[in-house]
Amino acid sequence: MSINDLIQARDTGKMLEKLLSFSDQCRDAESISPGIGGIHLPERIVFCGMGGSAIGGDILKTICDSVSTVPVFVNRDYSLPSWAGRETLVISASYSGNTEETVSSLKNAKKKGCGIVCISSNGIVEKLSSEYSAPFIKIPGGYPPRCAFGYLFFPVYGLLASIGAVKAMPRTIFGKMDRWIEDFSPGSEDSEPLAIARRLEGRVPLLYSNPAMYPALMRWKTQIAENSKTFSFVNSIPEMNHNEIMSWRHPEWFVNRCLPVFVETSREEARIKLRMDITREIISGIQPDILTVRSKGSDLLSDLLYLVILGDWISFYLAVLNGSDPTEISEINTLKKQLGGLR
**Distance from chain centroid for Cα 69:** 23
How far is the C-alpha of 164 from the C-alpha of 89, rounded, in Å? Answer: 14
Helix (H), strand (E), coil (C) string for 108-152:
HHHHHCCEEEEEECCHHHHHHHHHCCCCEEECCCCCCHHHCHHHH
Specify whether 226 is catalytic.
yes
The upper half-sphere exposure of residue 174, i.e. CA atoms within 13 Å in the direction of its Cβ, equals 15
Element (H, E) at 292: strand 291-294
**Phi/psi class of residue 323: alpha, beta or left (left: φ > 0; alpha: ψ in -120 to 50)?**
left
Specify whether 242 is catalytic.
yes
Among 40, 242, 250, 252, the one annotated catalytic: 242
Among 101, 226, 264, 328, the one annotated catalytic: 226
Specify whether 336 is catalytic.
yes
How far is the C-alpha of 72 from the C-alpha of 134, rounded, in Å? Answer: 20
| Residues marked as catalytic | 226, 242, 336
